[in-house]
Amino acid sequence: MNFSLDTIPFGIFSVKNRRKKVATIIGNQVVDLAELAHLGYFDGLKIPKRVFTNDYLNDFISLGKAKTNAVRAELQKLLAQPNQLPESVFHEVTNVQLHLPVKIGDYTDFYSSEQHATNVGMMFRDPDKALLPNWKHLPVAYHGRASSIFVSGTNFHRPKGQLCPDESQPPFFSPTKRLDIELEMATVIGKANSIGQAIDVDQAEEYIFGFQLFNDWSARDIQKWEYVPLGPFLAKNFFSSVSPWVIPIEALAPFQVTGEKQTPEVLPYLQEKNRHFFDVELEVILQTASGNEVKLCHSNFKNLYWTVAQQIAHHTVNGCNLNVGDLLASGTISGKEPTSFGSLLELTWGGKKPILLPDGAERRFLEDFDTIIIRGYAEKEGVRVDFGEVRNTVLPAV
């Protein structure tokens, strides 16, 4: 990883036994913003210094875009000449601990990739009617668990639960046999709306602070037995993971790509004047305990049918209130090519087409001690924005 001056993300770090602070990163150098503030570098911006000496970014984000973008612009100016800054503000990334950057209030998971929804529908329902009737009319979503979202580097134990592969037999209790990943992006909400006040789709991006890589770990066998009629629960809430750096939406301005017209036409509250996605390359890598490394897929944040602005407009059209720090995940981002499918469920087509590893081993779903790494970056005409990675290892069931 080599974070550029075009990125300037925000995160939370600590050095051993010291308290958490707000940071950015340039190259592989974590930059201590509390120290910069203490030294007076942000004095012109009239920002309370306490927002930088903080366990989470929420207070910083709550300053609003005018302030946070001013900090980002100041950092771009300062970090263009890093030699003029005191050494005390820099830390090798390998010498610090990176923490969950945002205190997440509510977490919502969307289901916004047409190819993903089609793949799942083909496997589990009628292949001729893979998309459900509501899918092209509204961005389907459900509420997820915020407490079990952890930062990259946190490992977790294979979850246990009820499985019932043959419903003519009673269910049994077991560690999941179908542990999967979902390649997603998470949107960090940067501004609250009041209860009862819908957010206009054309103003929705003002409510976005930025984005992170997101892995929506899933236990497919637990999911199959539990999810009708109220949706996924224990199949998802055992663990989710995010990358440590939040990339401000402003960094992605050069990477907007126009979205195709939607057919059928959506209802007016979902119609956008400037419909766009973000061209961010995404890849998923599997590392096994025996040293195999294989790229599972290569997708892109633009492989969605519903924009983040539409997700926000839909989420609030009934008056639901979003808060600073809420997380909206995109749902699995699968492109049209089979090599761009964002889950093992799709890549192995429900376990029927195993992935061959370099040493001859196979994977249908994940084994203990497998590590999954999601990486992301945007690059165009000399501008490069890095998302870093989210990396976690599966430990055996407790």
Is 38 among the catalytic positions?
no
Task: Answer for the pair 10, 71: CB distance below 8 angstroms, yes or no.
Answer: no
Q: Is residue 360 a contact point for its own copies (CB under 8 A)?
A: no
Task: Answer for the pair 12, 31: CB distance below 8 angstroms, yes or no.
Answer: no
* Selected catalytic residue, list 91, 99, 116, 315: 116
Q: Is 166 annotated as a binding residue?
A: no
For residue 337 the two structure tokens come to: 């090519």
Q: How far is the CB of 202 from its own copies (least distance, A)?
A: 17
Q: Is 128 annotated as a binding residue?
A: no
Half-sphere exposure of 255 (CA within 13 A, CB side): 24
Q: Is residue 355 a contact point for its own copies (CB under 8 A)?
A: no
Q: Is 147 annotated as a binding residue?
A: no
Torsion over CA: 246, 252, 253, 257 (sign):
negative
Residue window 140-159: x/- pattern of binding to its own copies, with contact defined by CB under 8 A: xxxxxxxxx-x-----xx-x
Residue from the set 5, 45, 122, 164 that interacts with its own copies by CB under 8 A:
164
Strand partners, 356: 362
Which of residues 4 and 193 has its CB atom nearest to its own copies in the complex?
193
Q: Which of residues 89-128 bind its own copies (CB under 8 A)?
A: 105-106, 108, 111
Q: What is the DSSP string of 35-99?
A: HHHHTTTTGGG---GGGTSSSSSHHHHTT-HHHHHHHHHHHHHHHTSGGGS-GGGEEEGGGSEEE
Which of residues 62 and 148 has its CB atom nearest to its own copies in the complex?
148
Task: Answer for the pair 102, 56: CB distance below 8 angstroms, yes or no.
Answer: yes
CA distance 119 to 325: 31
Q: Which of residues 203-222 bind its own copies (CB under 8 A)?
A: 219, 222
Which of residues 35 and 346 has its CB atom nearest to its own copies in the complex?
346
Would you call 114 helix, strand, or coil by DSSP? helix
Which of residues 34 and 104 has its CB atom nearest to its own copies in the complex?
104
Residues classed as catalytic: 116
Residues that bind its own copies (CB under 8 A): 105-106, 108, 111, 132-134, 137-138, 140-148, 150, 156-157, 159-162, 164, 167, 170-173, 195-198, 219, 222, 225-234, 237-239, 264, 267-269, 314-315, 317-323, 326, 398
